[in-house]
Structure 1
Amino acid sequence: MTATDPYALRFPVIALVTSAGGLDALSRVLAPLPADLPAALLVAQHLEPARHSELAAILDQRTGLTVRAARNNDELSTGTVLVAPPARHLLVTSEARIGLIDSDSLPPARPSADLLLATLAVTCGPRALAVVLTGRGTDAQSGIRAIAHCGGRILAQDKASSAHFGMPSAAIDTTLVHDVLPLSAIAEAIRHHVTEHGGA
């Protein structure tokens, strides 16, 4: 960390946020990414808080990247996807570690894309990439404003490839989204961001 680069995280971090229809979307984004991608990835998909989730285990079978459920105080590391568990919000702390906090009753959505993105923005700055995928509702609107404020980049899935266009549409409505892309183009956009912001 220097005076000219005050951000705690020294490598790109991609946050994939989604809700309804997210399993297919996440699978198709993660599958083409190389196992040695020089970036960390975080996933927040709205989950039923009282139900056990196999999301991380399923995604781990569909990509060369290492995928697992996030644990409190985890370090972010390249080539690894950390998935927010049910009934917890996932934060990125000032020490560039994962913070998990209990979620309360609805609203907000659980886990909250807004909370993840806002904390990522202030720890990662221009290295942050927010990707808003299929889902109902407006979660991520405030979070992408934080990402944009701190110089990060924002992508949204297009309507034609979204099972539910609520979250991507709400993101687009902020006018802060840099690119609206079909699902098939998002992995390549992630690779481009990683190359532009410190990845090999």
Structure 2
Amino acid sequence: MPKVTDEHRAARRHQIAQAALRCFARSGFQQASMADIIAESGLSAGAIYGHYKSKEELVELAVSEVLDARFLDVAAARRAEPMLEPAALVRLLVDGLSAQLGDNLPLLMQIWGQVPINPRLGDMAERVGSRIRGFFRDYLADWYVEGVGLPRAEAETRAQADATLYMGIIQGFVTQSVLFRDFDREVYLEAVAHIAPPARG
């Protein structure tokens, strides 16, 4: 029997996750069933359940794929000379989210809405939230040292406190862009620049 490679498994998991996202976008997370996802993927039930046991697992993979792409963006921004200011990093992240999810951006709100009543999604949200806070914390600590000139200890303390705020800015962007027809993304993103201290000259 031919050996199944890690690349093949990863590609198959991505295929299944994308089929799930299409189902969620069409029917809503709550209404879409595993049977719908199986039909959408064109794969057998065995192929699906060999990778995932539930919709929640599918959601976690899809969200992780989005996060992994954004981690690459943050890693590149940390290597830039000079470092991107926090407002520019926020713009980079929301542009990446919008490009990657496209018309599926409202799915994030559907998933968030299920978190309080779905313990498995609640566990996922805790893990995802921790990762997002972590990459903002680490980025901001470096920015406050290199861009602002704070001592490292002070920079890390401030970054630990500010990371949750920046995570909220991303969530606010998603929420307002989905809910409000008159949402002005440029005004929103330009306002973020008023939050961080100015870069040292």
TM-score by length of 1: 0.26
- The structure in which a higher percent of residues are helix is 2
TM-score by length of 2: 0.26
- The structure in which a higher percent of residues are strand is 1
* Highest RCO, 1 vs 2 (Cα 8 Å, sep ≥ 6): 1
